[in-house]
Structure 1
Amino acid sequence: MATTQTLFELIISVFFILISIFTSQVVSVVPEQCSLESSDCVDKSKALPLKIIDIASILVTSMIGVSSPLLTRSIPVLGPDRSLFVIVKAFAAGIILATGFMHVLPDSFDMLSSSCLPEKPWHKFPFSGFVAMFSAIGTLMVDSIATSLYSQRNRGGGGVIPENSEVVVEGGDEEEEVGGGHDGAAVKEGSQGTQLLRCRVVAMVLELRVIVHSIVIGLALGASNNTCTIKPLVAALCFHQMFEGMGLGGCILQAEYKLMKKAVMAFFFAVTTPFGIALGMALSNSYRENSPSSLITVGLLNAASAGLLIYMALVDLLAADFMGPKLQASIHLQIKSYVAVLLGAGLMSLMAKWA
């Protein structure tokens, strides 16, 4: 997986270089009305304990969300091959989809259309939609190329996996030989092997996207001293992190990684938002939410995150499951899953009223 990880790192590096180019062109003089928060709700001493509560509660709910699919595998009714697992995963996908459409993308539009930014170019072009669109296309490119590279790596090179042929895939961090009978080896045939490889790529891509998005959310929350904003965000973020974690945990479970890799991926998901909050608290003296550089950087990051989340929810989670053999074989299960998607998306959309 080293080639895929290098590709991810290269794309992220290019992304942040582009952001630095944008932000370096921002006017350095901040209008007075944009540089200071003036509200009865702004109180640094009262905001500090709320942020500490946020860190603890979000950490706990994130751990519960991402770990629940992994820990309940031994319970037959909650296994990845059972209908209940598919329905819960659909509910979590609805949460992720609504997060992109109803929370992250609108925030990006608000930031990049702020009166604190110069008229040109920020008010003359819809940068949020533009970046989100290309972010989704970029995710498709990474998804497709990563799947090809990962498939070739596990086959030792060559072309497309032929039907009904054996393929050796990882049983964790080390490859096992066909017929070796070692514990943890995942030897699949034909489409089953391809599907497992696909699940692993989806799990890693979704993990990376969610981590970037979570750090941005945490940074903005940690840097804010507005208690009226922080209080409703506690419930909203806990709800969001728990069910987004369930979606990611389901993908990690289907990827059939070894215990250590599952634990590492779950750990990084759980700690990223609390880490972002702590980082925002450390930078709160120098970070100004309404400064042009902050608005542009966070606005572009939010737009990119929205495109990533929307793509992952629609393509890698919903379309993959709904067009897969399990749901295609049962109209009743499809209907239940659609209800779960609408319920998850609806509840997360409702949270936009407070967050």
Structure 2
Amino acid sequence: MDTDINCGSGGGSQTKTSLRILSIFVILIGSMSGALFPVLARRSSWLHVPKGVFDFAKYFGSGVIIATAFIHLLSPGLDELGSDCLSPAWKEYPYALALCLLSIFSIFIVELIAFRWGTSKLAKIGMVHDAHGHDHGSHAAHGPESNYVQSSKIADKDQSLDIEETAQAPEHVHSHGFEDSITTQIIGVGILEFGVLLHSFLIGLTLAVTDDFKVLFVVLVFHQTFEGLGVGSRLAYLDIPKRFYWVPILGGVLYGITTPVGIAIGLGIRTTYNPDGTTASIVSGVLDSLSAGILIYTGLVELFAHEFLFNKEMMNSSNGRLAYSVSCMCLGCGLMALLGKWA
């Protein structure tokens, strides 16, 4: 057992109080900027950001999210649930990996139920809709099945008449499609943000009480900004009507304040909160492992599969664009993985 580890209930570090307080505002600015810039820039009428910048942010952020899952969540979860402070029973089974697996299947089941419910709801009102809402102007396609449904509609004379009739009342049909699209898109991004928020809160607590404050502080400024860029780029591409435009902004604000709130709470309880203690190790390990499963599922299914493999636009694009998109994702993943050396 490591003789330097403190398994008791004592508090964390009491040094550098002023810098720790300052870190609340520095990380708030970095996190908020990273999360809100893609959202506000895409909507701005005066800030003309080239499409290439958005594409870079989107794919770079996807790589950041995937690296966060493995390097910044699953690895710490394994360490925390394998801590020498815990009883030997915790080492008899890979609980961190099991919790990650449980999280992946839970998210899959939740999405499956949500999408089936949405599809069933639209079927009752006589509409056919891609379960992920990508047939209403979204940036990614779910697969060839949506193209088949669309071509079948056009080929069918009766249905073409229905389309002609509904064209006379576009607002009614448009609203139904968007209602389901909103629900499915918000579920997907909401799951992603939930996992990121758990992680952000925990690292805020850690920063408030850790002995290695200076190194962790510098790393977290970049960490939260990059991760915010990943979350913000997903929020920016939510294809929703104007009455729901506050949803991406709210998501960015929530991300921006989570780590500062964690730091503030950590400072308030640092006389009693010991990040290496038994209870803290169990709680952090469980939450990190569950969050890792959320981000792994989101990264591999929502980002890898839907943005590339099942995206007809991407598959039909030039080799140069495809290589650029993959390179941006690898760059984000690589930089975030590198930060794992210090945090």
Distance 1:33 1:263 in 2: 41
Distance 2:124 2:200 in 1: 35
Query: Which has the bigger relative contact order, CA under 8 A and spacing at least 6?
Result: 2
Secondary structure in 1 matching 2:239:
coil
Q: Residues 153 and 242 (structure 1 numbering): CA distance in 2 closer, same or farther, change over 3 Å?
A: farther
Deviation at 1:195, TM superposition (A): 6.4
Which ranges in structure 1 are unaligned for 5 or more consecutive residues? 1-30, 166-176
Q: Residues 247 and 290 (structure 1 numbering): CA distance in 2 closer, same or farther, change over 3 Å?
A: closer
**Aligned match of 1:107 in 47, 57, 76?**
76
Does residue 212 (structure 1) correspond to residue 198 (structure 2)? The answer is yes
**Aligned positions of 1:268-283 closer than 5 A:** 268-283=254-269
Q: What's the counterpart of residue 137 of structure 1?
A: 105
TM-score, length-scaled by structure 2 = 0.77
Secondary structure in 2 matching 1:35:
coil
Distance 2:122 2:220 in 1: 38
Distance 2:224 2:5 in 1: 36
The Cα offsets for residues 1-56 of structure 1, whole Å up to 9 and x where unpaired, read as: xxxxxxxxxxxxxxxxxxxxxxxxxxxxxx99522789xxx75132x222212211
Secondary structure in 1 matching 2:231:
helix
Distance 1:195 1:87 in 2: 25
Distance 1:219 1:33 in 2: 17
**Aligned positions of 1:160-309 closer than 5 A:** 161=129, 163-164=149-150, 179-180=170-171, 198-222=184-208, 224-226=209-211, 229-257=212-240, 258-309=244-295
TM-score, length-scaled by structure 1 = 0.74
Deviation at 1:213, TM superposition (A): 2.0
Secondary structure in 2 matching 1:34:
coil
Deviation at 1:144, TM superposition (A): 2.3
The Cα offsets for residues 128-160 of structure 1, whole Å up to 9 and x where unpaired, read as: 111111111112222222233345556766886
Distance 1:57 1:207 in 2: 21
Distance 1:32 1:311 in 2: 34
Q: What's the counterpart of residue 44 of structure 1?
A: 14
* Equivalent residue pairs, number: 300
Q: Percent same amino acid at aligned positions?
A: 30
Distance 1:300 1:129 in 2: 10
**Aligned match of 1:326 in 307, 313, 323?**
313
* Higher Cα radius of gyration: 2
Q: What's the counterpart of residue 345 of structure 1?
A: 333
**Aligned match of 1:316 in 276, 280, 302?**
302
Q: Which amino acid aligns with 1:300?
A: V
**Aligned match of 1:126 in 94, 116, 121?**
94
Distance 1:346 1:32 in 2: 31
The Cα offsets for residues 140-199 of structure 1, whole Å up to 9 and x where unpaired, read as: 22222223334555676688638347xxxxxxxxxxx95239xxx95587xx99766543
Q: What's the counterpart of residue 35 of structure 1?
A: 8
Q: Which amino acid aligns with 2:112?
A: S
**Aligned match of 1:54 in 23, 27, 42?**
23
